Every structure is written in structure tokens, then in C-alpha cells.
Amino acid sequence: MEALGDLKIYGTFNQSAPLDRQVGAKKIYSIDLKVATDRWPLLIQLDLLESLFRHEFAGEVGNLLGFTMFGVPLAKSLERTNDSLGFSFQVGQSLGYYSSWAFFIISFSSFCCMGSSRTRVSWSIF
């Protein structure tokens, strides 16, 4: 997580730092992550992780985040595992995994950089 602090646009550790760098700028663009974190697909995260790292690493992340079944006792469902409802993470952020936010922000920032490269907006995350 500390490595994310090196990104100029990342403000989790110091929320005013990205804004302070914009003083005097003529245009400022903002991205609201509230909606993105709720519905950001796991497959997009894995595709981007695979392009940044290697197939095996992305596959292990997918196994950890997407194929780990969580049993919820007493929940009603058609798909049961030992009298529990089985859930797995497919979109949004998987609760309880410290790495999920880091994987999300890497994939989301990469996605935004790719999108901005197709416009006249220049955006560098480093």
C-alpha cells in the first residue's frame, strides 16, 4: 500500500496533496471513486494486472479474490455449501483483503490513463 503513496494523484495518505499541486491550474479534472469501487469488475482488474505483471500473478490474484467461496450460515439459496450460502467476489471490493484496494487503484488508474490518452487531457500517475 505504501507504494501507492508515490503516485502523484493518489491522496489516501495525504488527501490535500493532490489538490495542493493543482493551485494555479487552469483546468482540474476529478474522478469520483465511490461508484467505481462498488461495481468495478474483477475481470478488468485481472486483465490489467496481467498486462502489468504476468499471467501467473494475475491468475493467483483471481483465485484469491474471485474464487474463494465464503459461507454464510443460515442464508437461503439454491447453491449451498454445508448448509451455508456460498458467495464469491466478482465486482466491487472484497472486504477483508488488504490487497484489494491496491489492486483496484492500480487497475482503475491505468484504465483512466488509457482513457485520457484518447482525449486531449494529459494525465500522468507517476
The pLDDT value given to residue 14: 72
| Cα–Cα dist 106/125, whole Å | 10
Residue count of the chain: 126
The pLDDT value given to residue 19: 75
Q: Which helix (H) or strand (E) holds 52?
A: helix 42-52
Residue numbers in the chain where pLDDT is lower than 50: 126
The pLDDT value given to residue 104: 77
The pLDDT value given to residue 81: 52
* First vs last C-alpha separation in the chain: 15
The pLDDT value given to residue 29: 67
The pLDDT value given to residue 76: 55
The pLDDT value given to residue 91: 66
Mean pLDDT, all residues of the chain: 71
Domain ranges for the chain, please list them: 33-117
Exposed, middle or buried by CB within 10 Å (0-12, 13-18, 19+), for 37? middle
The pLDDT value given to residue 72: 67
| Cα–Cα dist 14/30, whole Å | 16
